[in-house]
Amino acid sequence: MKKLLSLLLAVLMLAGLTAVAEAPAGEGLLIGVVYKQSGNPYFQASVTGFQKAADELGFTFLHDGPDDGSSDGQIRIIENYISQGVDAIAVSANDPEALVSVLQEAKAAGIKVVSWDAAVVAAGRDLDVQPASAKSIGLTQLESIAQSIGYEGQLAIVSATATAPNQNLWISFIEEALNSDPAYANIEYVGTVYGDDEYTKSYDETLGLINLYPDLKGIITPTTAGAPAVAKCVLDEGKSIKVTGLTLASDMAEYIKAGVCDATFLWNPIELGYAASYAAVALVNGDITGAEGETYEVPKLGALTIETSTAVNEAGELVPTDGTISYLNKLNAFTVDTVDEWVNIL
């Protein structure tokens, strides 16, 4: 009897213990993270976010990106993840279409797919996680440069590659606002050139712009890789051109302090990776399915709502797609006052 009682007590205690120390939501999960290219500081920062979430949720993750930034390099990495039996794949795609087949195979194998930063088309994903809506990203930069140049003068854009889906969407909103918003009526938009996210090419394209338009007043450069080259070129030429864009703080501190940029912007890639992790874990655990109207909780960012994603059609209008998306809706401004606190983070 005594023995039985002690056994019963022991079982009860054990049950009590497990109830108290509840396992974190991501315990035992394996997530494969794919980014566009290895060696890019932006993606190194986002990996920090995945790490932070992994510490909190208890999952483990693998991360890799092709060294040449190619789609077939990403396909190789994803195929390796599938054979390793990951629970979820979080991917920032080099091409929105190219990864669809392999990601559909992943989904067929029961793997949840979250795209973050650069989306895969709806057929290849369960959910897309983005920092801020394309409209707000585009217009924030436009408003900033307009303030810098006093709402008049020539304006140009130095973008990444001609096919980069993010940049093209932001630019479409900037162009739309320039055409329709009376506040920008005195700004003359001279066009977009492509620096292909390479330092030298971005520098050369900027130099070309400066030579072609001697009265150029402002440049928007919505790409972290191209921005330092653009600002350096403006500084080297000694022109009074203002530059804004999406940039890392560490790359641009010098130019912000030199007065070339009044403010540059970026979401927080750490938070982006962090939120993508929470989305992936919620999908794997079945808390969400990636359908419109669902919400998932991310510490410090609150409840993120899943909505229908949008895309630009051939007529240049924003139309809903069959995929879903959730926005963090947070954009940081780096100014001469705030840039120093971000230098070591971004």
Does residue 319 touch another protein according to CB under 8 A?
Answer: no
Instruction: Give, as ranges, the residues between 106 and 145 that touch another protein (CB under 8 A).
Output: 121, 123-124
Does residue 228 touch another protein according to CB under 8 A?
Answer: no
Strand order in the sheet with 88-91: 60-64, 30-34, 88-91, 112-116, 127-130, 318-327, 302-312, 295-298
Does residue 252 touch another protein according to CB under 8 A?
Answer: no
Using the contact rule CB under 8 A, the part of the chain among 61-69, 199-207, 239-247, 284-292 near another protein is: 61-69
Does residue 162 touch another protein according to CB under 8 A?
Answer: yes
Q: For the CB of residue 70, give the shortest distance to another protein in the complex, in Å.
A: 6
Does residue 84 touch another protein according to CB under 8 A?
Answer: yes
Q: For the CB of residue 280, give the shortest distance to another protein in the complex, in Å.
A: 16
**Burial call 191-228: b when 16+ CB within 10 Å, e when fewer:** ebbbbbbbeebbbebbbebbeebeebbbbbbbbbbbbb
- Give DSSP secondary structure letters for 60-122: EEEEE--TT--HHHHHHHHHHHHHHT-SEEEE--SSTTTTHHHHHHHHHTT-EEEEESSPPPG
Q: Under a CB-based contact definition with an 8 Å cutoff, are residues 298 and 330 in contact?
A: no
Q: Which is nearer to another protein, 97 or 292 (CB)?
A: 97
Dihedral over Cα of 274, 275, 276, 281: its sign: positive
Does residue 30 touch another protein according to CB under 8 A?
Answer: yes
Bridge-partner residues for 129, per DSSP?
116, 326
Among 42, 61, 194, 278, binds another protein (CB under 8 A): 194
Among 25, 48, 64, 336, binds another protein (CB under 8 A): 64
Number of Cβ within 10 Å of residue 307's Cβ equals: 15
Q: For the CB of residue 76, give the shortest distance to another protein in the complex, in Å.
A: 4
Q: For the CB of residue 305, give the shortest distance to another protein in the complex, in Å.
A: 29
Does residue 83 touch another protein according to CB under 8 A?
Answer: yes
Longest dimension (CA), the chain: 97
Q: For the CB of residue 84, give the shortest distance to another protein in the complex, in Å.
A: 5
In the complex, which residues of this chain contact another protein (CB under 8 A)? 30, 38-39, 62, 64-68, 70-73, 75-77, 79-80, 83-85, 95, 97-102, 121, 123-124, 161-163, 194
